Each structure stands twice: as C-alpha cells, then as structure tokens.
Amino acid sequence: MHDHEESHQTSLQRPCAYRLVNPAMRYAWGRTEGIEPYIAIETEGNIPVGEVWMGAHPKAPSSVVLEQQTEPLDALIAREPAYWLGEQTALQWRELPFLFKVLAAGAPLSLQVHPGLEAAQRGFARENAATIPLLDPRRTFKDPHHKPELAVALTPFRALAGFRSPEEISALFGAPLAERLELHAGMSRDDLPALVRTLLNWPRASFSRIEALLLARAEELISSSNEAYAGAGRLALELHHHYPGDPGQFAAFFLEQLFLQPGEGLFVPAGVMHAYLEGSILEIMACSDNVVRGGLTAKFVDVDLLCAVLDPAASPIRVVPQREEQDGCIIWKWNTPAREFQLEARELLSEGTHRIVLEGPSVLLCTEGAVSLQCPSLPSSMPLPARASVFVPGAAPWIELNGRGRVWIAHPAPAPAPASPTITLWIDADSLPRDLRPLLVRRATSRKPVHGTELAVRFVGTRPHADLPADAMIVVPQGEGSTDRYIIMHAQQGDLCMTRDLPLAEQLVSQGLLVLNDRGDVFDETTVAERRSIRDAMAELRALGIASPSPRGNMRTPADTKRFADALDRLLLKAARGKQQATMAARKSSRPSGS
C-alpha cells in the first residue's frame, strides 16, 4: 500500500461509505411509478412522489445509516466538515455544494426561473429582514445560493426552456392575439420580459376572453404542416387541460419545447425560464431550493420578481456526455460550467475491479444491476444493489467497484488544473466561409501547441456540419443569438474568437478576449467603437435613401484567405504569450509564503 493511502486510512478510522435513506418529496405533478425503477421509496400516501433528494439541504437532508442509528447528513457535516466533506471542499464551500435528485413528472411543473448568486443573496437577506419564516408559502428564497442545474434523461423527457425567437413568437401568437397584446412587428429579445409580465399579470376578471383566443389559436396550429407550430398548439391545449385559467398556458407559444432521449443532458443556468413537462430524469444542482414561480402552479407566484431575475439573453444548453472506456467499464461525464457539481456514470460491463479516484464528497446511486463497493477503511465489501445509494465522505481517497451494473456518481466539479495553459479559439460555424474551413480544421485536428500553449478549437453552431470535426463541434439549440450566448457564457479571458458579428465582438473584447473577423481584421476597444460608429452612420444614411443597401453575398479572394491566416497566426502567438504570463502569475500567487 502506498504511503498516501496509509495516511488516508489512518485519518479515516471509520467506514468511508455509508448507506443513505433519502426523503421522498410529494407533489401533485409527481409520478411515483416514474421514480420507483431508479431509487427505493416508501409509497404510502395519496399524493404522488415527484422527487427523491440525495444530499444535505436543510429542508430535507438525507439520513446516514450509522452503526446504531441514522442521523441527518447536514448535522454530521456541521460537526465534522473536514471528514465528511474533505479538507478542500470544506474550505471552499463549508457545506455539501450540490443536491442530487431523481425526478419524475406526470404533469407539467411550475413555470419558473432560478436567481443568480447576487439576486439570491439579496433576496434571502431581504426576506430574513422581513421575518418571513422559511416554511411560509410566501417565502421565495430558502437559502442564499444560486441554482444552476443539470437534467439527464432516464426516459424520453420533455421540457420548456428558453425563449423562442421573437419572429417565431409573433407567428405562433397570430393576428388576433398579437393585436390584443399590441405586439409590434420589430419586437426584439429585450422586449420579451415585458411580454411575459403582461401575460402572467393579466387581470383575472378578463382572462377568460384572452384564454379563448389562446385556445382558438392552438386549434389552428395543431393542423399546421410545420411540426414545431403544431407541437406548440398541442402543448397549449395540454397546459390548459392541467391548468385552466392560468396565464402560464401562454408559455407554449413563447418558450422552446425541448425533447431529450435517455442519456441526453440539459443544463439550465440562472435566469432561464423553464418548466419540466413529462418524464423521468436525474437532476443535479447547486444546493439550493430557490425557485421564482410565474404560473402553472397553485404555489406562491411573484411575476414581478420573476421578470426581474429573468435574463432574456440566457439560454439552456444541451450537454452531450463525454465517453471513454477503461478496463471493462464505460465512463460517461456530463460537463457544465457549474463549479458546485459534476455528474458521471460508470457502466460496469464485466466482472473485475474498477478503481475511482474521488473528487471530494460523493453520492453514488446504482440504477441497474448490482455492484459491491470497497474502500480503504472498509474491512469487507459493501453491497450496492439497484435502487440503493451511498455517501462517500470527502476524506476517502478512492473507492473500488466490482460487479455488473450502472452507478451514477455526483460530486463537486474538479478544480481546473493550472498545470498547462490552454487557449480556446471559438468560431461561429453557421457563418464560417468555406475557404477558411480547411485551415481551421487543420488547427482543430493537429493538436500542435502554439508557443508551448495547448490550443483547443471549438466550432459552435445550431446544426452539425459534416466537414467539421465532430469532437470539436458544439451544437446549441435553434434560436436567435443562441450561438453568441453560448460563446459569451463559456469563453475565458485570453481566448480568441472569430466572428463577423459586431455586437458579439464588442461583448467579447470587454471580457478580455482577442477577436478577429473572417478577413483578418483584429478588434479592440478602439476599432470596435469606430466600426460601430460607421455601421450606425451607414444605417442612418440607408434609411434616408442616401446610401445604397449593403451588397449581398460574400465575394472572397485567395488574398482574403491569406490575410486571415496571417492575422490568426499573429493573434494566436499573442494569446499564447498572454496565457503563459497569466499562468505564471497565478502559480506565483498561490505559493505559500516562504516557499
């Protein structure tokens, strides 16, 4: 046994895996039979089970099975955070940073938005100052945390999440509703919170009349040859069936309906309006129960607060799991921008020992087959059958799994490794000129460092492109600006981006990115401001009929291609040097004094 493993074994002095008894949360929208195949529950009571929580949220913590009794996990963590969380997680978070759930929807959940971190902290402090009890139905903020979340489908799953494009919203509402709501032809994404506020705050006394227009429009749409429009019509009737008289029915027309197949993931960041509709999922989130509701529920609704925390530029992100094979085991990982959590699955295909080096405190859930678990301080293996869960404290260095089955592992996201600096080149794939594709594909597939710095090329688009490498392609949901929003959310200071879009270039430059267009023009704060002034002036002249319209098409020459390639080489070198300087500075600042 290695020295570091011996020291861990000495420090544990107790079993490093504990069985969990998890609270079943009962909701009218729940579907007990959608929960039971995946986790053990008690089925007594008339209200269906909608969720089973695995974690330490004070509202409903899991209980840990000790030798003589069970004890709530949050209480155990409060007494001995270094053991239960591990020193690093205890120092960073001071509590279990994630909440892991099995969720099954038999009817649509509430129309909701999760607040960002600052909004959650302000709201929690405000409601505390108002002395609203935590269990009061009028209480919105149960804790001071944000709630980014990831849903991974166990069955075919439907959700509403993120706005449709303004053009599609106008088309779905149709003329009578558009006239009643005074929707103007040039509606932009920034106008959507006002539309939501108008609809969800519609006076109850006159709602029946606008509801009749909604139902009439839905009946028209279901016969449309456009499947997206027909689906919106069917969904509006479905929401009316479950929630008659509720303005949330209109969400069928202004939110995207998304469909997940088993194994597909959906990441919902703060500010995204959403409502889960039907199916079973595993859900992992930051340890929060903060939900701002706007409709489709009998619970407390606060439309004005929902519109205040709503971000019309935010959008959900489809998450394709990374897959690798290792000694008879398939490993799946769903990566998200959230630092509080990561979800992975281990599919054991053959008998044999599979060791896992842990990333902090972990919840393990077996949903198929049966495995056994072994770790340094367990004198014998612990069985982990299907529908059972265990908690592994952060003080444990590793565990081993034996058997055949599927085990899901929830844990904090690993800290980014600062060892080798990496720069990412972000590219809008949907508007990428054909003459630049071979050059950028070579960059993506060569894996050749730039001045000692790793380069990752990421093509982002709303559809796959056969001539671009699949492992470098990120497909985002259809919708106006969805590509831009993904790049803005994921790009890091010092990265590069190639774009023709001036507003995107302006945003990225303000975030510390290096930006160039497809002709090799490099953007900075000065050049962006100059181009914006020229663009605005030309638009005004065209509106007055003084200047001719912008030429259509994009006539490119070999000289344009070479100019871009030269500019890209210069900018990559600049980015690599900048990343190396930043990495060296970070390493220097992280060294203990006197080292």
Q: Write the pLDDT tens digit of every residue in 323-335.
A: 999 888 999 999 9
Tell me if residue 92 falls in helix, strand or coil.
helix
What pLDDT, on a 0 to 100 scale, did the predictor assign at position 554? Answer: 54
pLDDT for 4 beyond 50: no
CATH fold group of domain 322-411: Jelly Rolls (2.60.120)
Cβ(259)–Cβ(155) below 8 Å:
no
Q: Which comes out higher in pLDDT, residue 212 or 491?
A: 212
Whole-number Å distance between alpha carbons of 72 and 56: 8
Burial 52-77 (b: 16+ CB within 10 A, else e): bbbbbbeebbbbbeeeeeeebbbebb
Catalytic residue among 158, 164, 293, 406: 293
Lowest mean pLDDT among 300-314, 417-431, 448-462: 417-431
What pLDDT, on a 0 to 100 scale, did the predictor assign at position 502? Answer: 83
Is 519 annotated in the active site? no
CATH class of 19-159+261-291+312-319: mainly beta
Instruction: Please name every residue paired with 516 in a beta bridge, in sequence order, or none if there are none.
Output: 498, 522
Place 552 in a pLDDT band, splitting at 50, 70 and 90.
Answer: very low
In the predicted model, what is the mean pLDDT of residues 53-59?
95
What pLDDT, on a 0 to 100 scale, did the predictor assign at position 594? Answer: 38
CATH class of 422-588: alpha beta
Q: Which comes out higher in pLDDT, residue 10 or 105?
A: 105
Question: Which structure tokens are listed for 414?
Answer: 């690993």
What pLDDT, on a 0 to 100 scale, did the predictor assign at position 587? Answer: 55
What pLDDT, on a 0 to 100 scale, did the predictor assign at position 500? Answer: 84
Q: Output the DSSP codes for 477-505.
A: -SSTTHHHHHHHHH--TT-EEE-S-HHHH
pLDDT for 306 beyond 90: yes
pLDDT for 186 beyond 70: yes
pLDDT in tens, 370-414: 999 988 777 778 999 999 999 999 988 889 999 999 999 999 998
Lowest mean pLDDT among 77-81, 252-256, 510-514, 568-572: 510-514
| Share of residues in the chain with pLDDT > 90 (%) | 59
Give me the residue spans of the domains in the chain.
19-159+261-291+312-319, 161-257, 322-411, 422-588
What pLDDT, on a 0 to 100 scale, did the predictor assign at position 8? Answer: 43
Length of the chain, in residues: 595
Tell me if residue 112 falls in helix, strand or coil.
strand
What pLDDT, on a 0 to 100 scale, did the predictor assign at position 376? Answer: 74
Query: Is the overall model pTM greater than 0.85, yes or no?
Result: no
Beta strands in 292-361 (DSSP E): 292-295, 317-319, 322-325, 329-334, 342-348, 353-357
Q: What's the mean per-residue pLDDT of the chain?
A: 88
Domains 19-159+261-291+312-319 and 322-411 share a fold: yes
Instruction: Please name every residue paired with 109 in a beta bridge, in sequence order, or none if there are none.
Output: none
Whole-number Å distance between alpha carbons of 75 and 372: 27
Whole-number Å distance between alpha carbons of 63 and 76: 10
Q: Which comes out higher in pLDDT, residue 512 or 425?
A: 425
